[in-house]
Amino acid sequence: MVDVGLEQAFAKVRAFLEGDFEHPGLTLYDLQNLVGYNSRVKTDGPLSYTMPPEPALSGVAAVRLYYYPKDPEVNLIVEIEDKARKRHLRHFKWNGISWTAARGLKADLTATREVLPSIEEVGGDFFLGYASEEAKELAEAIRRGEAAGAKYMLCTRDNTRIFYAPASSPPAVPCPRCGNTNMIFKTLTLATPEDRIEAILREQRALRTALEDLLLYLKRKLGP
């Protein structure tokens, strides 16, 4: 289920930020000019710029760049809105020479393959192909150490677990947290209940993700 238009748009944005054979990459100064930062009273931002329509972007609804002058962690958020009105965000920090990934946030300029039916997050784990209630029950069972045999994929980058319903064949789904496609297929064993600390860490991570989302939302809302 590759969204060709979305992939094209990501490729375009990547060339725009990093440069290609014809154009140099986007500098912080260029970005400031685009959003009008240099020509108006300084604000805390964000300031935005919508990329003009062109063939490479015809497969998406819009591409917007948000500039955050005062944020120590994130200077630029790229928002690609696909035809289904879903927003794909990538976060960058200017290091003086180029755009680098903002700490802990998604920055790879490739399209996330949009995934199958529902994917639910419960307590830091993801559940694919489960109804909401089932996902919650399974999460509880996992917590109690009573879910031996449950199949899941483990992200090799950040240890995110994606449990998938037995009915669905092992899906080729990227990690919903970091976009990594390198997954190890595993089965829960008849082990002791999940280590308490590990469970707490997992929940903390889920909470942090939720907070980051909320912060971004607020930044967007409170901007000028």
Residues engaged in binding Zn ion (CB under 5 A) = 155, 157-158, 160, 175, 177-178, 180
- DSSP annotation string for 35-93: HTGGGS---S--EEEEPPP-GGGTTEEEEEEEE-SS-SS-SEEEEEEETTS-EEEEEEE
Residue with tokens 């329509």: 53
- How many angstroms separate the Cα of 80 from the Cα of each of 5, 41, 57, 220? 11, 27, 10, 15
Please name every residue paired with 154 in a beta bridge, in sequence order, or none if there are none.
Answer: 161, 184
Q: Closest distance between Zn ion and the C-beta of residue 160, in Å?
A: 4
Q: Closest distance between Zn ion and the C-beta of residue 125, in Å?
A: 12
Q: Closest distance between Zn ion and the C-beta of residue 177, in Å?
A: 5
Q: Rank residues 51 and 105 by Cβ distance to Zn ion and give the closer one.
A: 105
Q: Rank residues 205 and 219 by Cβ distance to Zn ion and give the closer one.
A: 205
- Cβ–Cβ contacts within 10 Å for residue 148, how many? 12
Residue among 195, 160, 194, 200 nearest 176 (CA) = 160
Q: Closest distance between Zn ion and the C-beta of residue 172, in Å?
A: 14
Residue whose CB is nearest to Zn ion in the complex, by number = 175
Q: Rank residues 8 and 159 by Cβ distance to Zn ion and give the closer one.
A: 159
Q: Rank residues 151 and 157 by Cβ distance to Zn ion and give the closer one.
A: 157
